[in-house]
Each structure stands twice: as structure tokens, then as C-alpha cells.
Structure 1
Amino acid sequence: MKRIICLHTLTPDQIAKIEQVAPGYTVTVAKSTDISSETVSDAEIIVGWSKHIVESALEANSKLKWIQTWSAGVDTLPLKRLEQRGTLLTNSSGVHAIPIAESIFAMLLSFSRQLHVAVRNQAEGKWEPKLASAGALTLTELRDKTLVIAGVGEIGRETARLAKAFGMKVIGVRRSGKALPDVDQMYTMDGLHEALSHGDYIVSILPLTDETHHLFDSSAFGAVKPGACFINVGRGPTVDTPSLLEALQTGQLGCAGLDVFEEEPLPVDHPLWKMPQVVITPHVAGSTDRYTERVVDIFVQNLQAYVNNQQLPRNLVDYSREY
């Protein structure tokens, strides 16, 4: 009997759904810290990933042929070793589109209507109708503002759709430069700085690759429209943190909404915590009570193709691009 391991909790119905698609396989559901190395090396398919199973999964006698990650990003996986083994790798791109797009707009609306300032004033019992915070935008509207989206994949497309509903102009930046609905103007990555110069609000949804590491540096922040708002829901290391701090301190950036950081958890003494123009969330923008069902849907669709010796139709990672 061939084995599928899932490192995340599944309902009995979800397990049955997987078994129905792949009747020749047994499904093992366990935490990475509770599963034996023998069981890991016996698995042909692993759903999820963990540092605790790396050596067992990649040993010479491992039966591993395919990994379906639980996340959209794959930067924490040993990509070179997986590529050398010829291991198929699929991610969970698309699972996060709705919750992250809504998290982006939670931040956009917080900054445009200064809700983050009101909440802080509430905690101190302060009645302050001006709702002004150092360096932050004053009370304004999203309508007619320009939103720049760096990394227009599934999340970016959903964000653009919502932005148009708010009457915003949308500028996109993506590797291919290919036009998309709801994006008024699209740039390639070479045009990032030009795109940034037009944005009232800038959202980074970029994956972490060699190309995007510290892409948002002092040069990039120097290119933004003074006082613009920056939101990062992609990957923390795409941003050079000292350059971000400097841009916030000088007012080059008016505010920032940050869900991801170069170092996580963000150290308790980090100056970002106390900046009144910054909203911090602990890498939860993609969290939703519908997460598991969406990952399972992607996996089952791919599994159906896999057992029929067909190319996996959803989210096959290109090792050369690292996503």
C-alpha cells in the first residue's frame, strides 16, 4: 500500500475524499513531531512540510515523489535538494486570495479613516476628533487614489478587483508584465520604481526569491510618492528593514501596514512596535476558517491527475523561478 502523509489536521470527510480519489493509498495524518522517520521515508506524497522531517523525507531510500505545501510560499523548503531529486512540488497559491485581499483593505481603510489612531485613543480614553498621528495621512478617501500592487498573482487580482469597487486606480507590477482585468496599467519588475512613484498606497505581495530579496530598499522607498502608505503581506525579507524604518522616520512613507517581517516574531524592543503610523499583524493575513478546505480542494484536484499519470494542473512550482 502506498502512503500519503498529511502534517495538518483533516476531518474524516476530507480523509475519505482523498482516499476515494486515490484508492491505492493509505492516508496518515499526524504532527511532524509525532511521526516516525520510517513513516516519513515510506511516504510517496507529503501534504505540508516541516523542518522536523527534512532528513527522513530526503534520505536516499525515501519514496517521496511529490510535496503539496500548506502555504503559498516555498522559500523555507530545500528547493535545490528537491529539484535534484526530481520531486514534484505544488503550493497552495489561491487559498489566500480572499483573506489576504480583505486584510489589505482592512489596513487601507484603517489608514484612510485613521481607525488605528482612534483605537489607540480609545484605550487611553482620549476624545480627539482630528485623529492625527505623526507622519500619517489625515482623514481621506480611497476613491480616486492610486494603488500599486507589486506581485499580481491570485491575491493581487482579488485586491485589484476590490480596489476598482472602491473607485481606485490600480497599477500592477509583475514579472511577465501581462495585462490583467481591473489593473489599469501593468509594469514588469524593471518598472517597479516608476510604478512606485505613482502610488498613494503600495502593496507588496511578492514571493521571496533571489530576485526579490531586499527589493524594497532605500532606493525603492526613495522612489515612492512622499507620504505614501506601504503594506507588506508577501514576505518579510523582500523589505530591507532599516530602509523601511528610515522612510517612516523621515516621512517619505506616511504609514505602513506590516504582516510579515525579516525576523519573526518581531523582537519586542523593535522600534516598529511603537511607531504610531504603523499597524502590525503577526503573519495572519492569510488565515481563515476556510483554509483547510481550500488546500484539500487543490490537493484532491492534483491527486486525481497524479494517480492517472497526468501533469498536475494546480500550482506546480517552477524550481528555476522558486515559485
Structure 2
Amino acid sequence: MPDCKLDAHGIHSGGQMNQNTKPVVTVLTAPGEQEPPGMDALRARAEVRFAWDEATLNNTLPGTNVMMVTDFRTEALAAAWPSADRLEWIHATSAGVDALMFPALIDGDVTVTNARGIFDRTIAEYVLCTILMFAKDFPGSMRLQARHEWKHRDTERAEGQQVLIVGAGSIGGQIARLCKAVGLKPHGIARKPRQDDDFVAVHGNDDLTEQLGLADYVVIAAPLTPQTEGLFNAKAFKSMRNSARLINIGRGPVVKTDDLIDALKSGEIAGAALDVFEEEPLPADHPLWDMENVIMTAHMSGDFIGWKRALTDQFLDNLDRWQKGQERFNLVDKKLGYASK
């Protein structure tokens, strides 16, 4: 590491802390939320402050070097942003960072990392589960069970079905691996075509419409960006097979909900499994609740027992790297809105 001087806060120009100086870390949580597990381990490495709204951020941000964000209330952070006089790095405890971004952060020098990798496997398990539930008609069986009705039916084979994964990144790749393991044929959509052993093929964004017409299952694993917001609209659903099912584990606003409901009612597509929605929580009187060709969960596809501690441990690993002047992992391209490597 090249020689560099310490500033008044014990930070090298390369980001490495003086060994005798603890960095200041502000943890942004939701009001009333318990502190994340693992904070004792963080306190051993840093001076820890907590904030939950604009007022507390204005008190804690001066002198803060690093933020760990568990609550993505961008209006509070954006409003308090002028108080961030020493901030170098924000870590988001989620894979998606769309709710965190605002112009001053995007255009400034503060780096952003995310929780890429923590939820990949469990989200992939969720996707595979929903595919098999559709193929074996488990929703129908559960309705029959609730009515104490014995009714034999034939169901579909999953093997050989084509799965289109829109968003061929870290999560998409894990989905593809599990799909391949059971004989499904995963194709991906990414910014550009590429060779990837996890997929049968990865196609570019320009091939989306064509690929939608070939898929038996369409999985949304893309981040929310200006390019993906509303991507699945009436035109997209018309491009899909009548027998196809949509699975959304990405972000709710990627799908135009009203257009999806129309497509499900008209038979343009056969079903949907939804873990994320344009409006959360979903209102109790929303029509999606009562549609028999819809499987719904409450934004939980990646959450596993112990996930909160896993997020803290991941942040601590990256904090150690930062304090040693090493390259951090999961650096987000703020213009693109996701970690690209």
C-alpha cells in the first residue's frame, strides 16, 4: 500500500483507518426496530451510532465514516445528507438498492455496497418450489384438502420446461443452477448476451420479447431501475405463452399490476407467483388475493432463519477489508443501480 497521510479522523486517503482510531458507523434502522444482531462485534471495531429518521440522522451523520442501512427511507437520508461531512461508504443490507438511491448519492463520491450473495440460494429455492407447485398443482390440492374432497388429477412434468430468468446476475445464476439440476432449461436475459455455464444461453435485452414467447416459466430477478420499472406490462404479457407462469422475486414495480390482473383473467398467461408487489403490504381487498391461479407470499422469498445476523456478518467482513485498505466486495455501480460483479 502506498504511503499516505492520516487526516484529522485517522483515515488514510485510501480509506484505511489508523490502528488506534475506531471509525464511526451509523446504523439506520426503522423507528422502534430492535438493533440488528451482531452489534457487539461491530462495537469492538467501531464507534456505533443509531438513527431512524431525519432528526436523528442530522445528529449522528457529522463525523460518520460508514453507514449500515437496514431501513431504506430515502427521504430521511436525502433530507439529512448535508450533515454527512465525513461519509465514505454506505452498505445496504439488501440485494436491491433502488430504494436507497437519490441524486446527491448517485452523483457524489460516497461508495455503496449491497448484500449480494446472502439471499441467492434461498431465493432460488423459492423459485424452484413455485415452479414445482405449479407443475404439480399443489394450490389445487390444498384447496381440495381444505374441502375434504378426494379428486385424482394428472399433473405436468417439470423436466424439459424452459425457464426464462430476466436478470442473469448473482441471484439469477443461482436460480439457473437449481433449475438445471432438476432438468429444467434455464435461459437468461442480461444487458448483453454472454456465455454462462449456468444457463442454456444468456440473451441480450433486445431479445426479451422473442424469449418471452418461448418460455414456460418467466422469472423476474432483475433490479428496479428506470429501464426495468413497468417492464412487464400488457405488451409483455401478450408476448408470453397462454400456458406460461410468471414468478416475481425481484421488485414489485417491475410489473404493472393492473395489466397482470387483466392477463390472468383473460387467460393470456396461466398463472403467477408473486413475492413482491407495487404496493406493500397488499391491501386486504386487492383482487390478487382471491385468484386461484396466483401464489402469493409477503416479500419473504429470500428470508431464512438467521438472515439478519448473516447480513451483519457480511458487513463486518467488508468493514474489515475497508479498515485494512483492501478492496470491498459487492460494490454497486450507482448509475446502473446494482452490483455488477
Aligned to 1:153: 169
Which of 18, 21, 25 in structure 2 is aligned with 1:4?
A: 25
Hey, what does 1:112 align to over in structure 2? Answer: 135
Q: CA deviation at 1:31?
A: 6.4
Task: Provide structure 2 residue ranges, at least 5 long, that are not aligned to the other structure.
Answer: 1-21, 30-34
Please point out which of 124, 127, 148 is paired with 2:147: 124
Partner of 1:103: 126
Residue 170, structure 1, aligned to residue 186, structure 2: yes
Spell out, residue by residue over 1:29-61, the C-alpha distance to the aligned partner (whole angstroms, 9 max, x if none).
x46269564124442211114427415751245
Match of 1:54 in 2: 77
Q: Taking structure 1 as reference, are residues 15 and 152 closer, same or farther at Cα in structure 2, changes over 3 Å only?
A: farther
Q: Deviations over 1:220-243 (max 9, x none)?
A: 111112210110000011111122
**Alignment RMSD:** 2.2
Question: TM-score under structure 2 normalisation?
Answer: 0.83
Identical-pair percentage: 33
In structure 2, how many angstroms separate the alpha carbons of the residues matched to 1:297 and 1:61? 25
1:92 aligned to 115, 130, 145, which one? 115
Amino acid at match of 2:67: I
Aligned residue number for residue 10 of structure 2: none
The size of the alignment, in residue pairs, is 309
Q: Measured at CA, do residues 39 and 241 of structure 1 come closer, stay the same or move farther in structure 2, by a change above 3 Å?
A: same
Counterpart of 1:258? Answer: 274
Counterpart position of 2:94: 71
C-alpha spacing 1:7/1:289, structure 2 compared with 1 (3 Å): farther
Match of 2:310 in 1: 294
Distance (Å, rounded) in 2 between the aligned partners of 1:215 and 1:61: 35
Greater than 6 Å deviation, 4+ residue runs: none
Counterparts of 1:4 and 1:27 in 2: how far apart (Å)? Answer: 5
Query: After the TM superposition, which residues 297-308 of structure 1 pair with which residues of structure 2 at under 5 Å, given as runs?
Result: 297-308=313-324
Partner SS, residue 257 of structure 1: strand
Counterpart in the other structure of 1:15: 40
CA contact (8 A) 1:79 1:319 kept: no
Q: For structure 1, which runs of at least 5 residues remain unmatched after alignment? A: 131-137
Q: Secondary structure in 1 aligned to 2:168?
A: coil
Partner residue of 1:315? 330
The residue that corresponds to 1:212 in the other structure is 228
CA pair 81-119 structure 1, distance change in 2 beyond 3 A = same
The alignment's TM-score, normalised by the length of structure 1, stands at 0.88
Would you say the 8 A contact 2:90–2:112 is kept in 1? yes
- The residue type paired with residue 307 of structure 2 is Y
Following the alignment from structure 2 to structure 1, what is the Cα–Cα distance between the partners of residues 37 and 314?
A: 16
Q: Is contact 1:205–1:232 with CA below 8 Å preserved after alignment? A: yes
Secondary structure of the structure 1 residue equivalent to 2:245: strand
1:218-229 pair list within 5 angstroms: 218-229=234-245
Change in CA separation of 1:46 and 1:164 when aligned onto 2, cut-off 3 Å: same
